[in-house]
Amino acid sequence: MNLDTVVDQAYLGKNFRELAAAPVSALRGVSAADAKALAKAFNVTTVRELAELDYVKWARAITTLAECERPGSGELARETLLDEAVEMTFPASDPLSVDAGITRIEVAPDMVDAQGDHQNAGKVEQCTAAGVKDAAGRDGR
């Protein structure tokens, strides 16, 4: 840990014993007014007294234990139900089933892309009619 980032300039180079005995305002970001408010509210005047303050210890213990806590069964159930509900709102995101026999999705043959192919629509109809006659001829119809 780089102490230059946590103590004021006046306390750089001090050893840990000196820093622990220093006023709370030695901590970077704690002004003289903040130190006065801590002294008034909690009777804290030094860095050591702040570190040993019961409220600080309790807050530290709670946050440390919160990081290790496992969710309860009720919380897990709510989370599972929420996940399933969200999944059900997006059925299109599910992959197609292989058992359904769908191998690919195509535009229906009677649908013409009017925006991009309107100029060739007549040729498409002619080729389709010719293809139908040709297929009928090969099948013997």
pLDDT reading at 106 higher than 60: no
14 near 38, Cβ under 8 Å?
no
Query: What's the mean pLDDT in 84-113?
Result: 59
pLDDT computed for residue 120 by the predictor: 63
pLDDT computed for residue 90 by the predictor: 60
pLDDT reading at 123 higher than 90: no
- Nearest 5°: the CA angle 70, 75, 81 is 130
For the stretch 122-125, contacts whose Cβ atoms lie closer than 8 Å and that sit 24 or more positions apart, written own/partner, are: none
pLDDT computed for residue 11 by the predictor: 93
The string over 55-73, giving b where at least 16 C-beta atoms fall within 10 Å of a residue's C-beta and e elsewhere, is eeeeeeeeeeeeeeeeeee
Tokens 């969200």 correspond to what residue?
Answer: 86
Give the rounded percent of residues in the chain with a pLDDT score beyond 70: 67
Mean pLDDT check: name the lowest of 39-53, 72-86, 125-139: 125-139
Question: Which has the higher per-residue pLDDT, 50 or 127?
Answer: 50
At 18-41, the pLDDT tens digits run: 999 999 999 999 999 999 999 999
Query: pTM of the entire structure?
Result: 0.50
